[in-house]
Amino acid sequence: MDAVVAAPQALLGRTIVGPASVRIRDGRIVEVITGKPPAGAEVLTDGLLTPGLVDVQVNGAVGVDFAEVDEDGMRAVAGALPSTGVTRFLPTLITAPVPIALRQARAVLAASAALPPGCGALPLGVHLEGPFLSPKRAGVHDPSLMVAPGPAEISSLLELKGALRMVTLAPEQPGGMEAIRRLVSAGVLVAVGHSDATGEQTRAAADAGARMVTHLFNAQRPLGHREPGVPGVALVDDRFTLGLIADLAHVGPDVCRLVFNAAGARVALVTDAVAAAGMPPGRYQLGGADVVLTEDGVPRSPEGTIAGSALTLDRAVRNIVSVGVPVADALASATIVPAEVIGESGLGRLAPGAVADLVWWDDQLRPRKVWVDGNVVYDAANPALPVPAAGYATAGQ
């Protein structure tokens, strides 16, 4: 039997309209109706209905580091994310030697496959952020573990087949352009990141098939008025989708607004969340290394380098709205844009044929109810549903 969810406002594509209703059958949206709700609909009396949020850069959360994940850890993350509006996510692994990265990736995939039905948000494969990065822009990654993307290394990664969804690399490294071409031809999204590439090299990476920039402005050659570096080209080259960590610490408020003014339709909000996300101040892990979360809410290495974030994607949306970006544009950057860049045409939209991942938001843009595949996985008003890990529902708000 069909289920119908009706709301006074809904995000359709990149526009908020209303009232609107979504008809669900077998976990898919079969019809979107504008105007008066049909008979038998579950009527949401206020707020906004949107697609589920899609986060394509998540290193961990609620104390779990994906570099050391097991079935229980993956279940904890999957169960916690819906309280932040996230219904699909891409587990991310940072720099490690290729054999270790493959072992970690297979552990992530095995833990993902073991998730029980209705557990919460669902993983989309794996994103390898390294080891083909530039030691000049290492950030918190270990530069001693970085290697050039030679043919043998790329062949090893491609053993993961369709489960390898995204690779972040520095295209200026020896073999970088050929690596991009091979990965892209195998259906892998390639992102430029942790890179000292010039503007010319960044544009050449797009020519080779790269289509994203990982955490714009962070760990890359900066924007200059004569040498545009990675961000300068990314902001003007329509082939790039721009990953943006909108915790207002990685990138300041004015620059976040500048990015949306320049290329808002191509921005994908990401969290780059680490195990510290949703947790109290303390010491956590990122790729097996210590990170410290202090009262300021920004994880750092013991030496003080920013190490991922404790951001949640709903908070990223609110942060972007707070700097003056329209609500519809902010939400599109956490739904349809990331879904499209990783080739998931059935996610991130309220449209016939799309997966029935939904979020009902209150007037302060906080999730009230979340559906995955048409099933409710989070309800702020219903304690009978699985409770998110301690602190996650309110982390960073």
| CA-based nearest residue to 57, from 237, 243, 253 | 243
Q: Is 308 annotated as a binding residue?
A: yes
Domain-embedded: residue 301? yes
Query: Would you call 26 a catalytic residue per the annotation?
Result: no
Among 237, 272, 314, 379, which one carries the catalytic annotation? 272
Q: Are 187 and 283 members of one domain? A: yes
Q: Is 359 annotated as a binding residue?
A: no
Q: Are 286 and 191 members of one domain? A: yes
DSSP calls for 176-200: HHHHHHHHHHTT-EEEE-SB---HH
- Torsion region of 166: left, alpha or beta (phi above 0 gives left; psi -120 to 50 gives alpha): beta
Whole-angstrom Cα distance, residue 363 to residue 360?
10
Q: Is 328 annotated as a binding residue?
A: no
Q: Are 7 and 72 members of one domain? A: no
Q: Is 262 annotated as a binding residue?
A: no
Q: Which two tokens stand for residue 314?
A: 């709903």
The DSSP symbol for 345 reads T
Question: Which of 319, 341, 363 finishes a domain?
Answer: 341
Q: Is 300 annotated as a binding residue?
A: no
pLDDT at 386: 56
Domain-embedded: residue 164? yes
- With beta carbons less than 8 A apart as the criterion, state whether 115 and 122 touch: yes
Give the angle subtended at the CA of 329 by the CAs of 22 and 92, to the nearest 5°.
Answer: 85
Domain-embedded: residue 225? yes
Contacts of residue 100, defined as CB under 8 A and 6 or more positions apart, other chains included, come to none
H or E segment and range at residue 261: helix 253-263
Per-residue pLDDT of the chain in tens (397 residues, 90 and over written 9): 799 999 999 999 999 998 999 999 999 999 999 999 998 999 999 999 999 999 999 999 999 999 999 999 999 999 999 999 999 999 999 999 999 999 999 999 999 999 999 999 999 999 999 999 999 999 999 999 999 999 999 999 999 999 999 999 999 999 999 999 999 999 999 999 999 999 999 999 999 999 999 999 999 999 999 999 999 999 999 999 999 999 999 999 999 999 999 999 999 999 999 999 999 999 999 988 899 998 888 999 999 899 899 999 999 999 999 999 999 999 999 999 999 999 999 999 999 999 999 999 999 999 999 999 999 999 999 866 654 544 454 333 3
Q: Are 105 and 121 members of one domain? A: yes
Q: Are 42 and 57 members of one domain? A: no
Q: Are 71 and 99 members of one domain? A: yes
Q: Is 218 annotated as a binding residue?
A: yes
Domain-embedded: residue 188? yes
Q: Are 169 and 106 members of one domain? A: yes
Q: In which domain, by residue range, is 202 found?
A: 52-341
Whole-angstrom Cα distance, residue 108 to residue 287?
13
Q: Are 213 and 304 members of one domain? A: yes
pLDDT at 383: 64
pTM for the model stands at 0.95
Q: Is 219 annotated as a binding residue?
A: yes
Whole-angstrom Cα distance, residue 57 to residue 244?
10
Domain-embedded: residue 13? yes
| Three-state DSSP state, 86 | strand
Domain count, the chain: 2
Domain CATH number, residue 325: 3.20.20.140
Q: Are 137 and 43 members of one domain? A: no
Domain CATH number, residue 36: 2.30.40.10
- Torsion region of 321: left, alpha or beta (phi above 0 gives left; psi -120 to 50 gives alpha): alpha
For the chain, how many residues are written?
Answer: 397
Domain-embedded: residue 346? no
Please report how the helices 229-236 and 199-208 are oriented relative to each other, as an axis angle in degrees rounded to 10. 50
Measured in Å, how far apart are the chain's first and last C-alpha atoms?
38
pLDDT at 258: 97
Q: Is 306 annotated as a binding residue?
A: yes
Q: Which two tokens stand for residue 187?
A: 């259906």
| Three-state DSSP state, 152 | helix
Q: Is 39 annotated as a binding residue?
A: no
| CA-based nearest residue to 94, from 30, 169, 42 | 169
Domain-embedded: residue 220? yes
- With beta carbons less than 8 A apart as the criterion, state whether 78 and 116 touch: no
Q: Are 299 and 388 members of one domain? A: no
Whole-angstrom Cα distance, residue 367 to residue 50?
10
Q: Are 39 and 116 members of one domain? A: no
- With beta carbons less than 8 A apart as the criterion, state whether 373 and 356 touch: yes
Q: Are 142 and 289 members of one domain? A: yes
